[in-house]
């Protein structure tokens, strides 16, 4: 049933062999597998891309709950990191394939069930990411002035659910709990000169709020030490070089660490050396310079574990955080922070909790590990549910950068391709795909958004941005998006 009539994907030998020794599917007489992907962020698009590239007959439909695609590339990547968003060009190329379709404005688990998708497709891949955040679980967490990093990032990036956040930026000191790249992104956005931000795709309303912000000091606190920070050197260097700001790192925090990192992996070694260099340099500068000369400051606080968010006298707002001082047991990434019994209070009027994202269960039919907030799986195959797969953060937890998700999604796609090749997925029975799902959605009054309709929204955003000297002005209200395309 195999022939060499179809062009091979890039980099493949002419023998019709794909990755992992899989034979390519080249016959027009074989039934076309219909694959459904739930979620249009990097995990969804990379999964679709790999399947389409290595199977000449597969048809992939991507479902997304928002009208607009691209997930965290649109709503998570910082506005001042446009180069990271270039992957959108790759995803657009995939979406425009005649064997790929995009259906936005469809909430799987509500508008259509996973069971209904399984009836309509040979395979269903869940790639819907992490739509919640981990909570601190301490008293005062719900006081006014305390926000999750996820909500704050969603607010300045135009995520519809966070458009009405209205964070109070009227204080001078902000505390970010967490030492990851998201924590540094938030610190940078809070302290960046407005002229920098005006040239980005940050939303209009968040730019207006930041223009009125009184925040001039940002502390980033973590439970462990300098050798356990999760941010990367690129983000740290950006922060150190941010105009009009002064890093405040305490040299005492880095005593003896130069020897400790001698044999560490190169990225960890370079990162630690940059922190040490900055601590020593800036400490000397600070002794020479008058404090008033630098309008804004940021700093890292280590071995501090939040115990309670402290309220103002009226009990309504945050006035500070009580921290337990910790000591480390063990070393390297596996070191544990153990409270010493000592406490300190840090005054602040804004608290941003950046301790990680968390996936939620989608549908009662899908197994879910509530302890780790992932779908239990083996190489992307959902445990106990043949024909159901997962990729990205819902598969392995909310860690890593876009390339990590790319590799992970390729692995899941590979599992789908293997199961097609080995007959685990029975494609001899044809499936209707969107033909069936479209009828279900119509009966429930749901009108999906196509990729070409997204491109109309995209064009409108770019036109509005051009008028303001920005790459785009994001539309933050889904109803406005739908009106724009005549829904």
pLDDT digits (tens, 9 = 90+) for 94-104: 999 999 999 99
Q: Taking the CB of residue 198, how many other CB atoms lie within 10 A of it? A: 13
Residue 18 vs residue 471, higher pLDDT: 471
If you average pLDDT over residues 411-433, what whole number do you get? Answer: 96
d(CA 487, CA 481): 9
What is the structure's pLDDT at 288? 52
Q: Which of 27-36, 264-273, 364-373, 412-421 has the lowest mean pLDDT?
A: 27-36
If you average pLDDT over residues 411-415, what whole number do you get? Answer: 98
pLDDT-based confidence at 14, cuts 50/70/90? Answer: very low
Half-sphere exposure of 446 (CA within 13 A, CB side): 23
Chain CA centroid to CA 150, Å: 9
Contact 31, 25 (CB under 8 A): no
86 phi and psi angles, rounded to 5 deg: -65, -20
If you average pLDDT over residues 206-215, what whole number do you get? Answer: 97
pLDDT digits (tens, 9 = 90+) for 78-99: 999 999 999 999 999 999 999 9
User: Does the structure show a pLDDT above 60 at 4?
Assistant: no
What is the widest separation between alpha-carbon atoms in the chain?
79
What is the structure's pLDDT at 7? 30
What is the structure's pLDDT at 400? 85
pLDDT digits (tens, 9 = 90+) for 175-205: 999 999 999 999 999 999 999 999 999 999 9
What is the structure's pLDDT at 295? 84
User: Does the structure show a pLDDT above 70 at 379?
Assistant: yes
Q: Which of 52, 60, 70 is nearest to 10 (CA)?
A: 52
User: Does the structure show a pLDDT above 50 at 239?
Assistant: yes
d(CA 238, CA 265): 22
User: Does the structure show a pLDDT above 90 at 51?
Assistant: yes
d(CA 257, CA 269): 10
Cβ-Cβ contacts under 8 Å for 473 (sequence gap 6 or more)? 201, 203, 204, 461, 464, 465, 467
What is the structure's pLDDT at 8? 29
If you average pLDDT over residues 114-125, what whole number do you get? Answer: 98
If you average pLDDT over residues 147-152, what whole number do you get? Answer: 97
Contact 398, 72 (CB under 8 A): no
pLDDT digits (tens, 9 = 90+) for 280-338: 886 555 555 555 567 899 999 999 999 999 999 999 999 999 999 999 998 888 899 99
d(CA 482, CA 487): 5
What is the structure's pLDDT at 222? 97
Task: Name the pTM for this structure.
Answer: 0.91
Q: Taking the CB of residue 446, how many other CB atoms lie within 10 A of it? A: 17
Cβ-Cβ contacts under 8 Å for 462 (sequence gap 6 or more)? 471, 472
pLDDT-based confidence at 6, cuts 50/70/90? Answer: very low
What is the structure's pLDDT at 130? 94
Contact 392, 403 (CB under 8 A): no
Q: Angle 181-191/149-157 helices, nearest 10 degrees?
A: 50
Rounded to the nearest 5 percent, the helix, strand and coil shares of the chain are 40, 20, 40
Structure letter (DSSP) for residue 450: P
What is the structure's pLDDT at 256? 87
Q: Which two tokens stand for residue 112?
A: 């259509």
């Amino acid at each position: 049933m195999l022939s060499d009539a179809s062009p091979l994907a890039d980099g493949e030998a002419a023998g019709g062999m794909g990755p992992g020794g899989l034979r390519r599917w080249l016959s027009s007489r074989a039934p076309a597998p219909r694959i459904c992907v739930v979620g249009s962020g990097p995990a969804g698009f990379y999964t679709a891309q790999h399947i389409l590239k290595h199977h000449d007959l597969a048809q992939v439909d991507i479902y997304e709950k928002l009208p607009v695609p691209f997930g965290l590339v649109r709503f998570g990547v910082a506005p001042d990191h446009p180069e990271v968003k270039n992957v959108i060009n790759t995803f657009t190329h995939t979406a425009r394939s005649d064997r790929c379709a995009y259906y936005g404005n469809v909430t799987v688990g509500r508008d259509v069930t996973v069971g209904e998708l399984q009836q309509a497709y040979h395979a269903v891949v869940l790639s819907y990411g992490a739509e919640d955040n981990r909570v601190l679980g301490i008293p005062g967490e719900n006081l006014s002035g305390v926000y999750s990093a996820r909500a704050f990032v969603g607010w300045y990036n135009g995520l519809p659910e966070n458009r009405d956040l209205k964070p109070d930026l009227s204080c001078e000191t902000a505390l970010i709990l967490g030492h990851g790249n998201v924590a540094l992104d938030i610190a940078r956005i809070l302290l960046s000169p407005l002229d920098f931000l005006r040239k980005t795709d940050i939303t209009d309303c968040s730019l207006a709020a930041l223009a009125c912000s009184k925040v001039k000091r940002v502390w980033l606190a973590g439970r462990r030490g300098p050798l356990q920070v999760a941010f990367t050197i690129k983000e740290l260097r950006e922060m150190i070089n941010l105009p009009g700001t002064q890093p405040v790192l305490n040299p005492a925090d880095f005593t003896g660490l130069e020897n400790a990192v001698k044999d560490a992996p190169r990225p960890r070694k370079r990162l630690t050396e940059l922190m040490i260099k900055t601590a020593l340099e800036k400490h000397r500068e600070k002794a020479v310079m008058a404090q008033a000369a630098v309008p804004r400051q940021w700093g890292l606080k280590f071995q501090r574990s939040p115990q309670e968010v402290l309220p103002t006298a009226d009990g309504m707002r945050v006035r500070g955080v009580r921290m337990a001082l910790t000591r480390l047991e063990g070393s390297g990434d596996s070191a544990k922070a153990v409270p010493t019994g000592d406490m300190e209070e840090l005054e602040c009027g804004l608290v941003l909790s950046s301790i990680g994202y968390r996936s939620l269960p989608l549908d009662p039919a899908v197994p879910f590990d509530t302890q780790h907030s992932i779908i239990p799986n083996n190489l992307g195959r959902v445990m106990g549910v043949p024909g159901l797969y997962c990729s990205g953060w819902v598969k392995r937890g909310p860690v890593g950068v876009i390339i990590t998700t790319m590799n992970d999604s390729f692995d899941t796609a590979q599992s789908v391709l293997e199961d097609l090749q080995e007959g685990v997925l029975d494609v001899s029975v044809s499936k209707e795909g969107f033909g069936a799902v479209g009828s279900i959605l119509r009966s429930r009054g749901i009108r999906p958004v196509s990729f070409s309709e997204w491109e109309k929204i995209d064009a409108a955003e770019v036109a509005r941005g051009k008028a303001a000297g920005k790459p785009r002005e994001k539309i933050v209200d889904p109803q406005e998006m739908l009106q724009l395309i005549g829904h």
